Amino acid sequence: MATRTIWLFLGIAAAAVAGSVVTYDTTLGNVLYVVTYLALCVLAWVAVARTPRGERWPWILVATAQMLWLTGDGIELGYYYWSADGVPPVGLADGFWLAGYPLLAVALTMMARRRAPGRMRSAVLDGLTLAVAAGLASWQFLILPNLGYGLSLAETIVPPLYPIADVVLLAAVLFIALSPGDRGAPTRLLLGAVVLYLAIDVSYNVLPYLLDYTVVAKIGPLIMFGNALMIAACLHPQRAELTRAGEQVNVLHPARVLFLGLAFLSAPTLTLLEDGVQRNAVVALAAVALSTGFVLTRFTFAVREQEKAQAQLAFQARHDPLTGLANRAVLTGELEKRDGPVAVLYLDLDGFKQVNDTFGHQAGDLVLSVVAQRLGGAVRATDLVVRLGGDEFVLFCPDLPEAEAVRLAERVLADVAQPIRYQGSLLDIGASIGIAAYGPDLPVGDGDLLRSADMAMYEAKKQGRGRWVMAGRLP
């Protein structure tokens, strides 16, 4: 689905949700709520059907969770309209509502593992640290105050399960938020949906102390907009970033250190609030806060050093050490991801061996570096310049028409042919170029694309120095 269509869908969903909020607790509002929610559930399964088979399981769990929540709402509406006793405080609907949380948490955890395979340790540890702090706060402020009122067993057990489910869901979404991986629109939509779910649940527990419950109850339809955000993430053309390994290196954000510090201080702070503010307790809390600050500062310095080393290793694994250009691994990835027209120019330098034999490898390294700079200056910002090895280079140019590829080849031939000054001498080199340009509908494999450009380059060499040949037009 196109990005513009996704934003249109979210706009329609927002309007429907707003209508449900305004007409809440009326027959019209209930009908609008059920119709909107049912339409979103249908779209969730449509989104699942459009997802590649190997990436469907997390989205199947998301769609199932939404169906369970809708079923719980339907049961409650049934009590509302047809039960003489009205809606029970705890009932079958709670079972369906609570069942959706672990499914969604499992889906998020699966996404996190697929996004960062083998790189989840720090995200899991930090996520669990923050979740434990949230769980402690939920126990003290949301669960404990509601215990011991002499209610029935079900009314005593079921309500605390919601804050517990929220903590589990929080841990799962933190695994994604704190793990390495791309941070495009699908990830932001997903995180926004879960944050909205959690905000609604917390509001249900906190706002009744501040507002009349008839006002608080109207936030219920907002959960549908969270569902719409989830569906939009699944329908987004870049949704693969949620279920495939990303390239982004994990970086320690300053906010992450701040949240960890708050998590470490949560237990002594809550204890201080529970026991009352006493001078000794305040001094102890200040000492703990100071020690925590020192520990986190040392932790930050250590992690920064590790990040620099990881970033350097990641760069070396994907770039040529001499020229700084991307290497074959990067080109292979781009070829595998291509989904539209593309032109590939395969270059081999003319006269490079003579330069090496006459002036030595230092001169040869200079030639390669200068050629790399000239190639980088000849292409667009969206193009990729690759050194395959030796004196072979590739220009990967998405959405470049064949005629433009020819003009690029001619420009590159002219640029590369400019003499290079070395220790008072002029190094004279040239290039032979093979071009392979294909549209999105032509069934050309990734290997065939590069191979065709390579064969065309060899044909250019046969015809003489400083030429280009278009693949598919070989004599």
**Torsion 218-224-229-230 (CA) sign:** positive
Q: Give the distance, in angstroms, between the CA of residue 455 and the centroid of all CA atoms in the same chain.
A: 38
Long-range contacts of 243-246 (CB under 8 A, 24+ apart): 243/55, 243/58, 243/110, 243/111, 243/114, 243/115, 244/55, 244/114, 244/115, 245/114, 245/115, 245/116, 245/117, 245/181, 246/115, 246/116, 246/180, 246/181, 246/182
Q: What is the rounded CA–CA span in Å between residue 156 and residue 177?
A: 33
pLDDT for res 474:
42
Q: What percent of the chain has pLDDT over 70?
A: 83
User: Does 459 score more than 70 pLDDT?
Assistant: yes
pLDDT for res 298:
63
What pTM value is reported for the model?
0.65
Q: What is the rounded CA–CA span in Å between residue 221 and residue 74?
A: 13
Element (H, E) at 42: helix 27-50
pLDDT digits (tens, 9 = 90+) for 4-31: 899 999 999 999 999 999 999 899 999 9
- Phi and psi, residue 41, nearest 5°: -65, -40
Q: What is the mean pLDDT of residues 211-239?
A: 91
User: Does 271 score more than 80 pLDDT?
Assistant: no
What band does 125 get if pLDDT is binned at 50, 70 and 90?
A: confident
CA dihedral 421, 423, 424, 427 (to 10 degrees): -40
Kindly state the tokens that stand for 17: 């949700």
- Report whether 296 contacts 261 (CB < 8 A): yes
Q: What is the rounded CA–CA span in Å between residue 23 and residue 220?
A: 12
**Torsion 359-362-365-366 (CA) sign:** negative
Residues 6 or more apart whose CB falls under 8 angstroms from that of 252 comprise 300, 303, 304, 307
pLDDT digits (tens, 9 = 90+) for 186-208: 999 999 999 999 999 988 888 88
Q: What is the rounded CA–CA span in Å between residue 457 and residue 434?
A: 4
Centre a 10 Å sphere on the Cβ of residue 333 and count the other Cβ atoms it contains: 15
